Every structure is written in C-alpha cells, then in structure tokens.
C-alpha cells in the first residue's frame, strides 16, 4: 500500500506529513524505554527484514498481489515506538532511493503503514495474548490475528483520507468496498508472515519478543486431591536473568541471513501482479492521478541497479543495497535514542524502567 504522488491534495498531504513527523518525534522519545539491552540490537535488523520481505509480493487472486506492511511484526518484536521508527526508515528509503511511494505522499505512507498499523496491531496483540492461554501457540495466534486486522484497518483509513482530499471524483463507498475487500485478503498473508517470524523468535529467544514481556506462564500447584491452583509468575530480578544476558548473536546472524536471502534471492520470484492499492486504483480510474516520483531517475528506481543488465543480478543487488541502508539507518535511530537516554542518565535524571 505505497501511495504515489498525486492521489491526495496538498492539505491532506501536509496534514499527514505533520502526523508522521509528530509520530517519529514521539517514537524517538518512547523508543528509549523499549531499546534496552535485549531489544536494542534488533532494531536495525527488524527494519532491514521488513524492507526485504516487502520486496516479495504474494498473489491473492483476481490478478492482484500483496506484500507485508510490517507494522504488527515490528511492534511485537521490538515495541510500538521502535516499530514506528523502523517503518519510517523503510518507507523513507523506499521513496528516496527506489522511487517506491511518492515524496509528497511520504507522510501518508508513514501514517498508514507505520502509525495506523502499529496502533491497531500492538494493543490487539497484547489483549489477545493476555486473554488466551499462556502458551507459545497462543502468542503466535495473537500475532496472526493482530497483523491480519491491521491491514484492512489501514485500508479504511486510506479511504477516509481519500474522501477528504482525494484528487479523483470517485464514490467513497466504491473505494471503501474495494480497498477493504482486497486488503482483507492481503491481511491473511500479512498474518501468516508475522506469525511465522514471531513464532521463530519465540522458539529461539522468547525473552527478546517485546510484546511477550510480562506474559510468563504461571506456576501451577497441585495438591494431594489433584486440584490445581495457578500462582502468577513474578518477573525475575535483573540479577536473576543470566538467560536474557546471553549473546543474541546467533539470532541476529540467523535473522540477517534470512533477510539477505529474501532481498537478494526470493525477491526475484515475487508476483508481478498489481498490488492491492494499484489494483483498486486501476479498476476505479484513480491511477490516472498518479504522478512520477521526484526520484524516478534514481539509479535504484524500481528495485534494479542502473547499468546492470542481468535482471536477477540487478534486483538482488538493489535488494542488498536496501537491506544495508535500512540496517544502517535503523541502527542509527537506535544509537540516537540510546545516546539521548545516556545523556539524561549522566545529568542525574533517573532512568525509567523498560515496559
């Protein structure tokens, strides 16, 4: 759902830009509490992974494809504030380097794929995780549902924005029905990818899943008669957490390897069908309003490297360049947030505990 330039008028684009800037500023502050020793090294990796998987469009039927939005996945793994930063990094790189999503529409894209998706997915995940039995399978199911729901909700917000400032004279009801329908189907794919990724991290290092904190299984006491009593598990004190202090290098290296495979190899096999927004825009004659991106002449435009004639090699190299940039910029956001937090601590301000 990468919105191009030309779909929205100036007032909506400016307003969405203001929302995006505010969200990033608030998230920079909030990420200080999320990016502790467990989550911090994963911030850049999550941004790179989302970038890589977004390159892989999957078919959803009727000549339409979809791709990961990533808001739910990032929020569950590293927290909602850090997730907004991760998605902002990905969307900025895609717009500036790859001409994917408009420059004037960047605020709209961050608002939809970052802010809205995270605000919907993370609270829903926590609600489901709290209500369901405290098992790994329950957390995986909660990840699937929250990711699925976030996609059509973002499509609904797109429709609302289009009703306010869309540049095409199209029935709002028609746009709503089409956007919600196709993005519900795409949401299923979003849910599957999110559940698989979250489940993999839960299996390897559950302590690194931000959304699962505070959800440890209770202690079950059984008396002589066979009746059971659940005693909620207390969070371990810092000095009792040797497991969380162990190196995350194996997980990080494995995640980076999966990211490289997705961007450098699997992206070549992505579906060439129109994605959900392009399909709706084409069917309802909104696509005529699209304008070429200001970065359309970028040497990496359309996820290819200018001058490299081999299509497979060109796309793979572009993906690896994007992954490297997302990893670097995402890590830079982490360093900025941590440096500001260290400055506060050095000034004598008590450090707030991580959520």
Please name each of the domains of the chain with its CATH number.
Answer: 10-216+246-343 (1.10.1760.20)
Beta bridge partners of 58: 66
Q: Give which of 339, 340, 337 is closest to 89, Cα–Cα.
A: 337
How many Cβ atoms sit within 10 Å of the Cβ of residue 76?
32
- What share of the chain in percent tops pLDDT 70? 84
d(CA 192, CA 290): 31
Asked if residue 50 lies in contact with residue 263, where contact means CB atoms within 8 angstroms, the answer is no
Asked if residue 31 lies in contact with residue 71, where contact means CB atoms within 8 angstroms, the answer is no
pLDDT of residue 217: 55
Question: Taking the chain, what is the end-to-end CA distance rounded to the nearest angstrom?
Answer: 31
Of 21-35, 119-133, 229-243, 340-354, the range with the highest mean pLDDT is 119-133
Instruction: Mark 33-64 as b/e (b = at least 16 C-beta within 10 Å).
Output: bbbbebbbbbbbbbbbbbbbbbbbbbebeeeb
Model pLDDT for residues 193-240, shown as the tens digit of each residue: 999 999 999 998 888 899 988 775 554 555 566 665 554 544 444 434
Name the average pLDDT for the chain: 88
Asked if residue 355 lies in contact with residue 213, where contact means CB atoms within 8 angstroms, the answer is yes
């Amino acid at each position: 759902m990468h919105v191009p330039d030309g779909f929205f008028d100036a007032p909506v684009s400016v307003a969405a830009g203001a929302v995006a800037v505010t969200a990033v500023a608030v998230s920079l502050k909030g990420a200080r509490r999320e990016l502790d020793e467990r989550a911090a090294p994963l911030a850049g990796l999550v941004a790179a992974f989302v970038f890589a998987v977004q390159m892989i469009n999957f078919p959803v039927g009727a000549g339409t494809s979809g791709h990961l939005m990533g808001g739910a996945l990032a929020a569950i793994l590293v927290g909602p504030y850090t997730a907004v930063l991760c998605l902002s990094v990905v969307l900025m790189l895609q717009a500036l380097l790859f001409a994917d999503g408009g420059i004037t529409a960047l605020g709209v894209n961050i608002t939809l794929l970052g802010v809205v998706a995270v605000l919907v997915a993370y609270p829903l995940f926590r609600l489901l995780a709290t209500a369901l039995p405290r098992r790994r399978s329950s957390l995986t199911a909660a990840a699937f549902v929250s990711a699925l729901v976030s996609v059509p909700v973002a499509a609904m917000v797109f429709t609302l924005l289009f009703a306010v400032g869309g540049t095409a004279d199209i029935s709002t009801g028609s746009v709503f029905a089409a956007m919600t329908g196709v993005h519900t189907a795409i949401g299923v794919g979003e849910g599957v990818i999110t559940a698989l990724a979250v489940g993999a991290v839960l299996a390897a290092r559950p302590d690194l899943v931000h959304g699962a904190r505070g959800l440890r299984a209770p202690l079950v006491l059984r008396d002589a008669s066979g009746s059971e009593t659940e005693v909620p598990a207390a969070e371990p004190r810092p000095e009792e957490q040797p497991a969380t202090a162990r190196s995350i290098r194996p997980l990080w290296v494995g995640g980076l390897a999966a990211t490289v495979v997705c961007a450098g190899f699997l992206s070549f096999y992505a579906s060439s069908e129109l994605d959900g927004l392009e399909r709706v825009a084409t069917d309802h004659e909104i696509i005529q309003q699209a304008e070429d991106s200001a970065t359309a002449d970028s040497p990496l435009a359309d996820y290819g490297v200018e001058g490299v004639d081999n299509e497979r090699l060109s796309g793979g190299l572009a993906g690896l360049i994007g992954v490297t940039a997302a990893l670097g910029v995402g890590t830079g956001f982490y360093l900025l947030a941590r440096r500001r937090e260290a400055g506060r601590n050095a000034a004598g301000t008590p450090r707030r505990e991580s959520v």
